[in-house]
Amino acid sequence: MEIIKTQIPDLLIVKNRFFKDERGFFMEHYNKKQLAEHNIHIAFCQDNLSQSSYGVIRGLHYQLAPHAQTKLVSVIVGRVWDVAVDLRKGSPTFGQWVGIELSDDNKTHFLIPQGFAHGFSVLSETAIFSYKCDQYYNQPAERGIRFDDPALAIDWRIPTDQAIVSPKDKIHPDFAEAEMNFNFISH
Ligand SMILES: Cc1cn([C@H]2C[C@H](O)[C@@H](COP(=O)(O)OP(=O)(O)O[C@H]3O[C@H](C)C(=O)[C@H](O)[C@H]3O)O2)c(=O)[nH]c1=O
């Protein structure tokens, strides 16, 4: 397992080994002990799976503390552009975001700590997105930030004016308005 830092502390790229042979490939998709060897100790409690078509954007979503979720995200089929935004008060990277391509080809995981908003755009015809969370879904604690907030200026790598988004994702406040919700303390 290789852990790669990003320009935002605690937001990490996780590369697991995978073994190819004439049948295909094998990989340990999640290994608690190997993460612990990198001093990453997360008590995941829920696995999620979603399928989306090209042009879908899901996000930007987060849950308020104490229901904020750490997410270990990956793509089982297809390609997505995955984005995490730092919402942690006092963080030197507050309001900054990192984007990464996750795909069935690169078999890469993105470890997104509590206190981040998360979203992704689908770059392939279809994408199956799989991720672990360390807090259960709590709908009353769910909040969002509009994915196309000009202040964030996220490059979703697809034409956002044609993005396929849920009705709720069309009406989230922008970052500045949502900021009053942020109740995450930077570590
Ligand atoms: C997230 C979630 C949703 N649901 C139900 C609620 C709705 O009836 C239905 C679809 O939910 P939603 O439209 O919120 O799904 P996404 O837009 O993929 O939401 C996710 O999108 C971004 C990318 C995230 O990181 C979050 O995990 C999550 O907010 O599943 C559940 O039953 N459990 C859950 O954990």
User: Would you say the CB of residue 48 lies under 6 angstroms from ligand 1?
Assistant: yes
Complex ipTM, two decimals? 0.98
Q: What is the structure's pLDDT at 160? A: 93
DSSP-derived letter for residue 103 is E
- CATH for 2-19+44-182, options being 2.40.30.10, 2.60.120.10, 3.40.30.10, 3.40.50.300: 2.60.120.10
Q: Whose CA is nearest to atom 8 of ligand 1?
A: 139
SS3 string of 128-146? EEEEEECCCCCHHHEEECC
**pLDDT above 70: percentage of residues in the chain:** 99
DSSP-derived letter for residue 125 is S
In the chain, what are the domain boundaries?
Answer: 2-19+44-182
User: Would you say the CB of residue 61 lies under 6 angstroms from ligand 1?
Assistant: yes
- State mean pLDDT over 18-34: 98
User: Would you say the CB of residue 118 lies under 6 angstroms from ligand 1?
Assistant: yes
Evaluate if residue 169 carries a pLDDT over 80.
yes
Is 172 within 8 Å of 112 (Cβ atoms)?
A: no
The confidence band for 125, taking pLDDT boundaries of 50, 70 and 90, is very high
Helices assigned H by DSSP within 14-162: 32-37
Q: What is the structure's pLDDT at 48? A: 98
Cβ-proximal residues to 30 (8 Å cutoff; 6+ apart), any chain: 44, 72, 132
**pLDDT above 90: percentage of residues in the chain:** 98
> Residues in the chain, how many?
187
Is 32 within 8 Å of 43 (Cβ atoms)?
A: no
